[in-house]
C-alpha cells in the first residue's frame, strides 16, 4: 500500500468510515486556520502544525519536535484513537502533511497516509469541500515518541561527511546567496542540495516513484547510503524524507535543521554549491 492516497481512494475510504482525515493546511505566516475556515474536507478537523506538530521556537530551532504530552493531547482533540488509519492533507504540495506524516510515525502511529496534491487535487477531482466545522469525539491515542529516529546536530554533521545529507531548501538559500528567514546564510558542510520543488509536479503532486528514484540516485543516493535530510526548520526536511520513502529509500531528518545549526557559533558553515564528494568541502566560515 502506498503512503500516498488519491482523492478517489480517500473518498471511498471516508464513505466506508475506514479513515480519520485531518486537515493540516499551513503557511509560514500562520494562515492555516484561515485556509481551513475557507474550505476543507467534510468531517476533517484542523491539526495545527505550530501548536501540535512542533514545539515553541527557540534554541532547538524554529519548528522543534513537540512535547509528547502536547502532541498526544492535540491528536486526541481531533479524534485520533489507537489503531486508527489516518489520512492527512494540506493545500497542494503536502509540505505540512509530510511533516504531520513524519511526526505521527515518530509518535508510534503506523497507518498514516498523505492525500497527494492536497485539497487542490480533491477539488480538481470534482469532490466537495465545506466550511462546516466538525466536533470530533475525543480520541484515546497513546503516543510513543521516538518510534522512528531523528538526527541531532552531531548526527547531521556525521551523515553529511560519511553518508548523504540532503538539504531541501531552494538553491539560493542553500548556497548562501540569500537568507530571508534565518540570521546566517549557508548550509551544513558536506550537505547536498535537493530542492523540494524538484520533487513535485507543477500541480503539487509528488513525481512518480521511478522519477524520484532517478532524481535521488542522481544526487548519489543508493540503498546502502545512510541518508539524512535537513532544511530551514525541519518542515521541508520531513517532506524530502517522504519523497525518499516513496522512492524506496529511508532517511532520517534533522528536525532542528539550519535554524538550530546556527545557534552554536562553533559549528562550521559552508557556502556555494556544496556538491563536492568524498568529504571535500567548499569555502567555510565561522
Give the separation between CA 201 and CA 280, rounded to whole angstroms.
32
User: 50 and 61 in contact (C-beta within 8 Å)?
Assistant: no
Active-site hit among 65, 78, 231, 238: 231
Give the separation between CA 89 and CA 22, rounded to whole angstroms.
7
What's the half-sphere exposure (Cβ side, CA atoms, 13 Å) at 260? 25
Beta strands 284-285; 269-270: pairing state: antiparallel
Beta strands 227-230; 252-253: pairing state: parallel
Strand partners, 40: 130
User: 271 and 193 in contact (C-beta within 8 Å)?
Assistant: no
Angle at 72 between CA 120 and CA 69, to 5 degrees: 135
Give the separation between CA 231 and CA 235, rounded to whole angstroms.
7
Let me know if 76 is a catalytic residue. Answer: no
- Could you tell me where the DSSP H helices lie in 115-176? 118-124, 153-162, 171-174
Grid cell listed for 82: 489507537
Give the separation between CA 274 and CA 270, rounded to whole angstroms.
7
Strand partners, 151: 254
User: 262 and 185 in contact (C-beta within 8 Å)?
Assistant: no
Active site residues: 231
Amino acid at each position: 500500500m502506498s503512503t500516498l492516497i488519491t482523492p478517489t481512494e480517500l473518498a471511498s475510504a471516508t464513505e466506508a468510515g475506514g479513515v480519520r482525515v485531518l486537515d493540516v493546511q499551513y503557511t509560514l505566516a500562520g494562515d492555516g486556520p484561515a485556509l481551513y475556515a475557507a474550505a476543507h474536507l467534510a468531517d476533517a478537523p484542523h491539526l495545527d502544525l505550530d501548536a501540535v506538530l512542533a514545539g515553541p521556537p527557540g534554541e532547538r530551532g524554529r519548528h522543534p519536535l513537540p512535547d509528547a504530552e502536547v502532541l498526544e493531547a492535540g491528536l486526541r482533540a481531533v479524534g485520533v484513537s489507537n489503531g486508527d488509519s489516518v489520512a492527512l492533507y494540506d493545500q497542494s504540495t503536502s509540505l505540512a502533511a509530510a511533516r504531520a506524516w513524519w511526526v505521527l510515525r515518530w509518535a508510534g502511529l503506523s497507518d498514516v497516509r498523505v492525500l497527494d496534491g492536497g485539497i487542490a487535487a480533491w477539488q480538481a477531482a470534482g469532490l466537495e469541500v465545506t466550511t462546516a466545522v466538525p466536533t470530533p469525539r475525543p480520541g484515546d491515542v497513546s503516543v510513543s515518541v521516538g518510534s522512528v529516529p531523528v538526527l541531532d546536530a552531531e548526527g547531521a554533521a556525521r551523515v553529511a561527511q560519511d553518508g548523504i545529507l540532503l538539504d531541501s531548501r531552494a538553491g539560493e538559500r542553500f548556497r548562501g546567496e540569500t537568507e530571508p528567514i534565518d540570521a546566517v546564510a549557508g548550509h551544513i558542510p558536506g550537505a547536498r542540495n535537493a530542492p523540494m520543488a524538484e520533487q513535485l509536479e507543477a500541480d503539487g503532486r509528488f513525481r512518480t516513484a521511478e522519477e524520484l528514484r532517478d532524481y535521488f540516485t542522481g544526487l548519489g543516493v543508493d540503498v546502502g547510503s545512510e541518508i539524512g535530510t535537513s532544511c530551514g526548520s525541519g518542515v521541508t526536511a520531513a517532506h524530502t524524507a517522504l519523497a525518499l520513502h516513496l522512492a524506496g529509500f529511508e532517511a532520517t531528518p534533522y528536525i532542528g535543521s539550519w535554524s538550530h545549526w546556527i545557534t552554536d557559533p562553533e559549528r562550521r558553515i559552508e557556502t556555494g554549491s556544496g556538491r563536492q564528494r568524498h568529504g571535500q568541502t567548499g569555502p567555510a566560515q565561522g
